[in-house]
Amino acid sequence: MPALRAEGIILRKYFLRETSYVLVVFTREFGKIRGVLKGARDPYPQFAGNFEIFTQCDLLFYKKKRNMDLVTHCEARDFFLPIRKDIERLTYASYFIELLDIATGDHDKKEELYLLLLESLRSLAAGAGPKRTARVFEIKLLETIGLLPALDACLKCASPEPESNYFSVSGGGIICGNCVAKEDMAFRISKGTVNFIRKIAALPLLRTGQIKVAREVGMETEKALKMFIPYHLGRQVKSMRFLEEMERGGILMKD
- Note whether residue 255 is domain-resident: no
Q: Is 66 found in the same domain as 130? A: no
Mean pLDDT computed over 234-253? 83
What is the tally of structural domains in the chain?
A: 2
pLDDT at position 206 over 80: yes
pLDDT at position 224: 96
Least confident of 69-83, 150-164, 186-200: 150-164
Q: How many CB atoms lie within 10 A of CB 58?
A: 14
- Per-residue model confidence (pLDDT) at position 37: 84
pTM of the shown model: 0.92
State the maximum Cα–Cα separation within the chain, in Å, rounded to a whole number. Answer: 68
Q: In what order do the strands lie in the sheet with 166-168?
A: 173-175, 166-168, 186-188
Query: Which range has the worst mean pLDDT, 51-60, 105-114, 243-252?
Result: 243-252
Instruction: Check residue 40 and give its pLDDT.
Output: 58
Position 55 scores a pLDDT of 96
| Residues 211, 221 contacting (CB under 8 angstroms) | no
Q: Please say if the pLDDT value at position 49 is more than 80.
A: no
Domain that holds residue 104: 81-150+165-248
DSSP strands (E only) in 137-197: 166-168, 173-175, 186-188
Per-residue model confidence as pLDDT tens digits over 89-123: 999 999 999 999 999 999 999 999 999 999 999 99
Q: What is the pLDDT of residue 253?
A: 66
Give mean pLDDT, residues 5-31: 91
pLDDT given at position 183:
83
Domain assignment present for 121: yes
Count of helices and strands (H, E) across the chain: 7, 8
Q: What is the pLDDT of residues 133-185, one digit of tens each?
A: 999 999 999 999 999 999 999 998 998 877 778 999 999 999 998 888 878 88
pLDDT grade for 66, boundaries at 50, 70 and 90? confident
Asked if residue 92 and residue 182 are part of one domain, the reply reads yes
Judge if 172 and 86 occupy the same domain. Answer: yes
Tell me how crowded residue 248 is: count the other CB atoms within 10 A of its CB.
10
The band of 225, judged by pLDDT with boundaries at 50, 70 and 90, is very high
pLDDT more than 70, % of the chain: 94
Instruction: Give me the pLDDT at residue 255, please.
Output: 60
- Does 36 lie in the same domain as 143? no
| Spatial separation of the C-alpha atoms in residues 117 and 237, rounded to whole Å | 16
Asked if residue 193 and residue 135 are part of one domain, the reply reads yes
10: left (phi over 0), alpha (psi -120 to 50) or beta: beta
Query: Using CA of residue 56, residue 62, residue 68, residue 70, what is the dihedral sign?
Result: negative
* 43 — pLDDT class (breaks 50, 70, 90): very low
The answer to whether 16 and 71 are in contact (CB under 8 A) is no
Query: Judging by DSSP bridges, how do beta strands 69-78 and 31-37 pair with one another?
Result: parallel
One domain, residues 171 and 208:
yes
Average pLDDT, integer, range 238-242: 87
Supply the CATH number for residue 205's domain: 1.20.1440.120
Alpha-carbon distance values, 27 to 3, 87, 138, 252 (Å): 15, 26, 19, 32
DSSP 55-95: -EEEEEEE--SSS-EEEEEEEEEE--HHHHT-HHHHHHHHH
Alpha-carbon distance of 139 to 158, in angstroms, equals 23
With respect to residue 254, please indicate whether it lies within any of the assigned structural domains: no
The mean pLDDT value for 196-221 works out to 93
